Amino acid sequence: MTDTVRRFAWGAARLAPIIVLLAAWEMFARSGAVTPFMLPALSAVAERIYDDAAGGDLFLNIGVTVYRALAGFAIAAVGGVVLGAAMARNRAARWFFDPVISVGFPMPKIAFLPVIILWLGLYDVSKITMVVLDAIFPVVTATVAGIASVEKELVWTARNMGAKNRELLWQILLPAALPQILTGLQVALPIALIVVVVTEMQMGGYGLGGAMMQASRFANSRGVFAGIVEIAVIGYALVAAMAWLRRRLLAWHQEAQGATGV
C-alpha cells in the first residue's frame, strides 16, 4: 500500500515543477508585462492547438513529421549497424570508412541540405536522406565501439563450441554489443527529429516544421508557440518510447545494474 502511495507521490513531485511552469506562463502572459505577440497566453495557445486538431491539420502535420523522422531513423539504424559491424570485423572496411566517420561526425551536415535538394528535389526523399546522413553517425560509432568491446572470452567460448564467423556475428557479437548499440540509437533519435524539423522549415509544405515556419511568416505567434508545444510533446513521447524499448530489450542487463537515466 505504501509502495503505491510512494510512487504516486514521487510522480506528483516530478510533475509539480511542470505545472508550476505552465501556471507561471499563463500568469506572466496575462500580466501585461509582455505583449500577447511576444508571449501568447497558454490558454490562447491551447485553443489554437485544439482548433488545429479539430480541423485535422494537427494530425496530418504530426503524422508527416513523425513518418519522415522514423523512416530516416530506421534506415540510419539498420544501415548504421550494418556498416558498424562491417567496420568492426573487416580491416579494409574500417580503413576505408574510418576517416569518413571520424571527420563527418562533428560536421554540421545540415550544411549539405542545399546540395541534397539539388540532387534529390524538394520532396520527402531529400528530407529523409538528410535525416539518414545525420543520424547514421552515432549508430556507426556506437556499433563499432560495442562490438570491439565484447570480451574476448565470449568470442573464444563461442568458437570453442564450433560457431562459424557469420554465426558469431549474429548470435554473439550483436547481442553482446546491444547495450552500446541501443545507446547509439538513443542518441540518433533526437537528432533525427531535429533534422526533420529543420528540413521542413527550409522546404515548407506539410509537417510541423513547415507549419511553424508558415505561422512565423504571418507573424502568428500563437501558431509558433503551438508548434513548439506540439513538437516538444512528440519529442518527449518518442524518447520515452525508446527508453521503454531499451528497458525491455535489456531486461537481462538491468538486473545487474540500477535504472538508467535519460
Nearer to other proteins, 58 or 213 (CB): 213
Residues between 140 and 169 with contacts to other proteins, criterion CB under 8 A: 148, 151-163
Within 8 A by CB and 6+ apart from 62, the residues are: 208, 230, 234
The answer to the question of residue 99 lying near other proteins (CB under 8 A) is yes
Residues between 35 and 74 with contacts to other proteins, criterion CB under 8 A: 37-38
Residues between 161 and 220 with contacts to other proteins, criterion CB under 8 A: 161-163, 172, 175-176, 178, 190, 193-198, 201-202, 208-209, 212-213, 215-216, 219
d(CA 240, CA 201): 25
Q: How far is the CB of 72 from other proteins (least distance, A)?
A: 13
The C-alpha cell of 137 is what?
553517425
- Give the torsion sign (CA, 43, 48, 54, 56): negative
Our CA dihedral for 87, 93, 98, 104, rounded to 10 degrees, sits at -90
Cα 177 from chain centroid (whole Å): 20
d(CA 88, CA 241): 29
Nearer to other proteins, 43 or 157 (CB): 157
Residues between 218 and 237 with contacts to other proteins, criterion CB under 8 A: 219, 221, 224-225, 227-228, 231-232, 235-236
Task: Choose the stretch contacting other proteins; rule: CB under 8 A; options: 14-22, 24-32, 55-63, 121-129.
Answer: 14-22
